[in-house]
Amino acid sequence: LGQGIIETDTSSNELCQGDSSGAALEMQTDSEELLHAGIAVAERAWKKFTEGTSWSADTPELVVTHQVGKAHTNALFEAVGLDPAKNFSTFETLGNVGSVSLPITYAMAREQGLAPSGKSTLLMGIGSGLSAIIHSLTN
């Protein structure tokens, strides 16, 4: 199935908080700080992932991420040294679809024939709690 790692940093959990007031949901986010904190935890996860596996930034043929937006994706790829040309992006068509972003984007890549058998795929996600998950697949 592949190899993976999870890295967490709950010291920044105040950067994105949700609550409800009656029938309405409320969410407060410090987007800029959340971006920086998320990239930092992703960098630590990437370092541990590459140290614990035979993977490097050159290994994946396809990269699928939890997609919040273009700036976040660009910052992530730059921080860990991944080639942006390997990214399969659905943000332009789906927008930010929250926690289903990674699985739906991977499913769409498979449907479009971009993740055939034998192709090395990297799955990456950053959650606003803060946690980062990285998982390798050889389809």
Q: What are phi and psi of 76, to 5 degrees?
A: -65, -50
Would you state the pLDDT for residue 135? 96
Please tell me the least confidently modeled range out of 24-33, 113-122, 129-138: 24-33
User: Where residue 2 falls among pLDDT bands split at 50, 70, 90?
Assistant: confident
Domain boundaries, the chain: 4-138
> Helix, strand, or coil here: 13?
helix
Q: What are phi and psi of 117, to 5 degrees?
A: -55, 135
User: For 89-109, how does the pLDDT look when each residue is reduced to its tens digit (9 = 90+)?
Assistant: 998 999 888 888 899 999 999
Q: What's the average model confidence in pLDDT over 7-11?
A: 86
CATH architecture for residues 4-138: 3-Layer(aba) Sandwich (3.40)
What is the pTM for the complete model shown? 0.86
Half-sphere exposure of 63 (CA within 13 A, CB side): 24
Would you state the pLDDT for residue 83? 98
Nearest CA to 122 out of 29, 24, 45, 68 is that of 45
